């Protein structure tokens, strides 16, 4: 089980932001239409939180736990938060961190949601990728909570094995909101893509406790309207470097 020093909070957030060295990778897969085509993406270095945002951390920043009734636990990932709710949390967090609380669309923001490309690059292991189907292993039971091992609910973060970058729960537990508007990929190579310029949905990644292993792959994509609140959907924090 996790020790107190591993608990995500305002005081420990910086130590849990993992620096991810930028590089190029082949994004997507040939498995499903919305994951095609495989295309080259080049990313600058960035930081990503070791864990998804937990209920305890959300309460510390926002003063209440949106879970309300189900799967309650300070170290469990927060759910039932919309993409729009995440922006409120991030802006408040940036204010508490001593920044201006600027819009997440501005590069001056300290904390933000990861882009889809950043999320997938990190899930694959960045420059240390071993080509696993799931984040950190070919066997999802080793690294993620899904309908084959979750007992029908979310689980405390950080109990499974991390991937090569030291990141936990990227596949399984809860889906994770990304910054991008959801749309099909373009064919050509891209540098630091931020998703489509239009579209009514926002992208999510990673799979969750309710779904099977096929939906908990590093390339799996999902979509929701940005005001959607669901016990299956949470998020983790990124930061530009």
CATH class of the domain comprising 8-240: alpha beta
What is the 3 state secondary structure string of the chain? Answer: CCCHHHCCCCCCCHHHEEEECCEEEEECCCCCHHHCCCEEEEECCEEEECCCCEHHHHHHHHCCCCCCCCCCCCCCECCCCCHHHHHHHHHHHHHHCCCCCCCCCCCCCCCECCCHHHHHHHHHCHHHCCCCCECCECCHHHHCCCCCCCCCCCCCCCCCCCCCCCCCCCCCCCEEEEEEECCCCCCCCEECCCCCCCCCCEEEECCCCCCCHHHCCCCCEEEECCCCCCCCEECCCEEEC
Distance CA 1, CA 6 (A): 10
The per-residue pLDDT for 54 is 98
Delimit the domains of the chain by residue range. 8-240
pTM, full prediction: 0.94
- Averages of pLDDT over each 10 residues, the chain, 241 residues: 73 95 97 95 97 98 91 96 98 80 50 98 97 97 97 96 98 98 93 91 97 97 97 97 90
- Evaluate whether 27 touches 40 at the Cβ level (below 8 Å): yes
Q: What is the pLDDT of residue 97?
A: 79
What's the pLDDT score for residue 104? 43
User: Given this model, what pLDDT does residue 191 score?
Assistant: 96
185 neighbors 27 (Cβ within 8 angstroms): yes
Closest CA to 53 of 84, 19, 89: 89
Hey, what's the torsion of the CAs at 72, 57, 210, 224, to 10 degrees? 130
- pLDDT value of residue 4: 52
CA angle 184, 174, 209 (to 5 degrees): 110
């Amino acid at each position: 089980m996790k020790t107190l020093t591993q608990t995500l909070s305002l005081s420990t957030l910086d130590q849990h932001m993992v620096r991810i060295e930028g590089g190029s990778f082949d994004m997507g897969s040939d498995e499903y239409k919305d994951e095609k085509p495989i295309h080259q993406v080049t990313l600058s270095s960035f930081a990503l939180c070791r864990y998804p945002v937990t209920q305890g951390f959300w309460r510390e920043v926002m003063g209440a736990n949106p879970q309300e009734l189900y799967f309650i636990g300070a170290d469990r990932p927060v759910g039932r938060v919309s993409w729009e709710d995440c922006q409120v949390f991030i802006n408040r967090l940036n204010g508490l961190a001593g920044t201006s609380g600027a819009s997440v669309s501005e590069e001056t923001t300290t904390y933000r949601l990861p882009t889809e490309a950043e999320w997938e690059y990190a899930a694959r292991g960045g420059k240390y990728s071993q080509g696993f189907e799931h984040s950190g292993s070919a066997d999802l039971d080793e690294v993620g909570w899904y309908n084959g091992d979750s007992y029908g609910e979310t689980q405390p973060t950080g109990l499974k094995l991390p991937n090569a970058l030291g990141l936990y729960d990227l596949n399984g537990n809860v889906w994770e909101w990304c910054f991008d508007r959801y749309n099909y990929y373009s064919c050509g190579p891209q540098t630091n893509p931020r998703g489509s310029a239009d579209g009514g949905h926002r992208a999510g990644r990673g799979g969750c406790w309710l779904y099977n292993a096929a939906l908990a792959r590093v390339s799996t994509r999902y979509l929701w309207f940005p005001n959607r609140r669901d016990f299956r959907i949470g998020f983790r924090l990124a930061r530009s470097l």
